Structure 1
Amino acid sequence: MSEDLKIGFFEKYLTLWVILCIAAGIGVGYLAGDDIRILSDWNIGAVNVPVSILVWLMIYPMMVQIDFSSLKYVSRNWKGLGLTVIVNWLIKPFTMALFAYVFFKMLYGAWMSPEDAEQYLAGAILLGAAPCTAMVFVWSYLTKGDANYTLVQVSVNDLILLIAFVPIVGLLFSWFDISFLNGNGEVIGIPYKTLITSVIVFVVIPLVTGYLTNRMLIKQKGKVWFENKFLKQLKPISILALLLTLVLIFAFQGQKIIENPLAILLIAIPLTLQTYFIFFVSWFAGRFLKLNHAVCAPSAMIGASNFFELAVAVAISIFGLNSGASLATVVGVLIEVPVMLSLVAIANRWRY
């Protein structure tokens, strides 16, 4: 793994950029008024075109780093991979939903409407069902994790994501009676077609395209050029797309936030508690399994972090740009870096 994977300027201050995007988005929404609805209504099927372009530009630079040839090394750290799979797919989605349900549906009754609580719960479910894909490389580097192991575990999780994300999200939506409305305001069943379309558009296509790009460029230019030149050139595009997506979301959420600024804090509390909980579950399970630090640390980090780009995209596709579900997934972006950096510090402090 390249030494340049240490956390960069934009990643380090991601929370600051998100806060600035909140302000910019609210300002854009106020100035544009109803005219901004043109972007909200620009859809092909259930997929919003402007958001899809931006999210794809976010996700492709991550997927281009995946090397599925690394899967031949799966057996080298089977305990760590087993822990990752169990925590990410059998524990994390359900504990995230439980934390969100307890806070949004039970504890926050005096501060939010039942409709908002349900929307925030839906957004939390989407975050919990999507383990980290890109930033885990950074967290692994900062904790002196095994770079090859990190690449293998990300590759394995991406493959599982293709088949597990939709069933898990559908199951949790069903368990917690999440409501869905069609264009006429009528209640409909879980929109599996939209879920599947979202996975194809935001995971399958960028994953296949990224992998083919990876193989072709490394073969033609070499791995050093690929990591030190090509990936560096892609990073600003990914960051810019993320920031523009956030501005667009908050342009629609602005009035709601002005009326209830407490909502962001209330959403952040269960998401933060869940992050720490999953980290400690993975960390102490790894210690029990006698994993060395270079494997234990990235195993804990991938579960604690989220593939928030996918969660944001799916929330927008299903519930809309101005939905509480979209807002909840964006709060996941807001807390990502400061919380994960605190976990990096804990992992490094407990290294020996």
Structure 2
Amino acid sequence: MTDTDMTGGSALGIFERWLSLWVALAMAAGLIIGSMSPGLVESIAGAEIASINLVVAVLIWAMVFPMMVNVDFGAVAGVARQPRGLLITLAVNWLIKPFTMAFLAVLFFDYVFAPWIAPEDAQQYIAGLILLGAAPCTAMVFVWSQLTRGDATYTLVQVSVNDLIMVVAFAPIVALLLGVTEIAVPWQTLVLATVLYVVLPLAAGLITRRMLGSQQAIEAFSARIKPLSMIGLIATVAILFGLQGEVILNRPVIILMIAVPILIQSYGIFAIAYGAAWVMRVPHKIAAPCAMIGTSNFFELAVAVAISLFGLNSGAALATVVGVLVEVPVMLSLVAFANRTRNRFPTETA
């Protein structure tokens, strides 16, 4: 997700501060374009090779690459000074979050909402929610860390270790959960998407960091390319909603239905991680970011894989995009809660 400078300047840039608004405008633009020029959107949808849409692949890289440049795997060694925060992050992200999201998705779309949704549509929404649940946040957490006065270096450690695990764990967990919910898993596409949208951007980010050399040069480069993330996100959302226009206009209530399990999951995961940090007496500057990582989602990856597996105009892709719309208001409310409860946590590392 779009990164921001952790060391100074505005806590939230204009894009991050009004992300929900920009996403909503992109949705509206997509609906208008889809209605007025359906041929244009369909031609974009048809630009595929091996189930990977070329246009969207470029846009996803535009979103992902700027944040990968900010991931420093050399910081992983810093975990030794406070392992409890990292243990909470990893346990929540990989042992709890994917499975609770799958449970909530099945609960709502196979049972609670079943009278109003066709079974084949329900399976698509379940798949999209599973992809969201299996993709914990990678870079927007730097923003939440800064807003809660978190330890920036330790946040980087958490994100870096999380990314290393994501490279090897994302595809198997998604395949397992999609299989459990009886959705056919195209393994080749899933692995290809993971390599394309996680492994290769990480490698490109690492190479770029080494070429730039100094931290000052890295930060300057990141500031220059950060607008690419905005362009990629807005364009991708517009394309998705252009293809989904008919469904959305005819059944807007489906957006609210998809949002329900996402909201429950977000607040529930935060409560688990933040509560565990409080019980384990983790300092607030580590506890707040470690709870935010699991609560927030790596929606770029979820959107990309949903498109690769099920198509641009699929219900799965729609579900991942709804996650984008819901996330920022939820995370800002949790930032406010974390700041109000700061005095309940230790202030120094034990």
TM-score bin (small chain): over 0.9
Counterpart of 1:183 in structure 2 is: none
Return structure 1 stretches of 4+ with deviation > 4 angstroms.
none
Aligned-residue offset at 1:75: 1.1
Provide the C-alpha distance between the structure 1 equivalents of 2:69 and 2:286, rounded to a whole number of angstroms: 23
SS in 1 for 2:286: helix
- Contact in 2 for aligned 1:5/1:137 (Cα 8 Å): no
Aligned-residue offset at 1:342: 0.3
Aligned-residue offset at 1:35: 4.3
Counterpart of 1:202 in structure 2 is: 197
Deviations 1:84-129 (A, max 9, x none): 1111000000001111111111111232211111111100000000
Counterpart of 1:226 in structure 2 is: 218
1:151 aligns with 2:146: no
> Which amino acid is 1:164 matched to?
A
Deviations 1:212-246 (A, max 9, x none): 111221x2xx323432x222211111111100000
Alignment RMSD: 1.1
- Contact in 2 for aligned 1:81/1:299 (Cα 8 Å): yes
1:51 aligns with 2:56: yes
- Contact in 2 for aligned 1:279/1:301 (Cα 8 Å): yes
Provide the C-alpha distance between the structure 2 equivalents of 1:124 and 1:4, rounded to a whole number of angstroms: 35
SS in 1 for 2:244: helix
Q: How does 1:237-316 map to 2 (within 5 A)?
A: 237-316=228-307
Aligned residues: 338
Provide the C-alpha distance between the structure 1 equivalents of 2:318 and 2:40, rounded to a whole number of angstroms: 21
Provide the C-alpha distance between the structure 1 equivalents of 2:123 and 2:256, rounded to a whole number of angstroms: 17
Q: How does 1:1-352 map to 2 (within 5 A)?
A: 1-4=6-9, 6-178=11-183, 180=184, 190-217=185-212, 219=213, 222-227=214-219, 229-352=220-343
Provide the C-alpha distance between the structure 1 equivalents of 2:100 and 2:8, rounded to a whole number of angstroms: 35
- Contact in 1 for aligned 2:41/2:239 (Cα 8 Å): no
> Which amino acid is 1:216 matched to?
M
- Contact in 2 for aligned 1:61/1:238 (Cα 8 Å): yes
Deviations 1:1-35 (A, max 9, x none): 42237211111111111111111001111111234
Scaled by the length of structure 1, the TM-score of the pair is 0.94
Deviations 1:170-197 (A, max 9, x none): 110111112x4xxxxxxxxx11111110
> Which amino acid is 1:95 matched to?
T
Provide the C-alpha distance between the structure 2 equivalents of 1:249 and 1:35, rounded to a whole number of angstroms: 13
User: What are structure 2's unaligned runs of at least 5 residues?
Assistant: 1-5, 344-350
> Which amino acid is 1:318 matched to?
L
SS in 2 for 1:130: coil
Provide the C-alpha distance between the structure 2 equivalents of 1:110 and 1:345, rounded to a whole number of angstroms: 37
SS in 2 for 1:342: helix
Provide the C-alpha distance between the structure 1 equivalents of 2:106 and 2:314, rounded to a whole number of angstroms: 18
Provide the C-alpha distance between the structure 2 equivalents of 1:213 and 1:269, rounded to a whole number of angstroms: 40
- Contact in 2 for aligned 1:40/1:321 (Cα 8 Å): yes
SS in 1 for 2:342: coil
Provide the C-alpha distance between the structure 2 equivalents of 1:33 and 1:118, rounded to a whole number of angstroms: 26
Provide the C-alpha distance between the structure 2 equivalents of 1:293 and 1:103, rounded to a whole number of angstroms: 34
User: What are structure 1's unaligned runs of at least 5 residues?
Assistant: 181-189
Provide the C-alpha distance between the structure 2 equivalents of 1:4 and 1:329, rounded to a whole number of angstroms: 31
- Contact in 2 for aligned 1:57/1:238 (Cα 8 Å): yes
SS in 2 for 1:144: coil
Scaled by the length of structure 2, the TM-score of the pair is 0.95
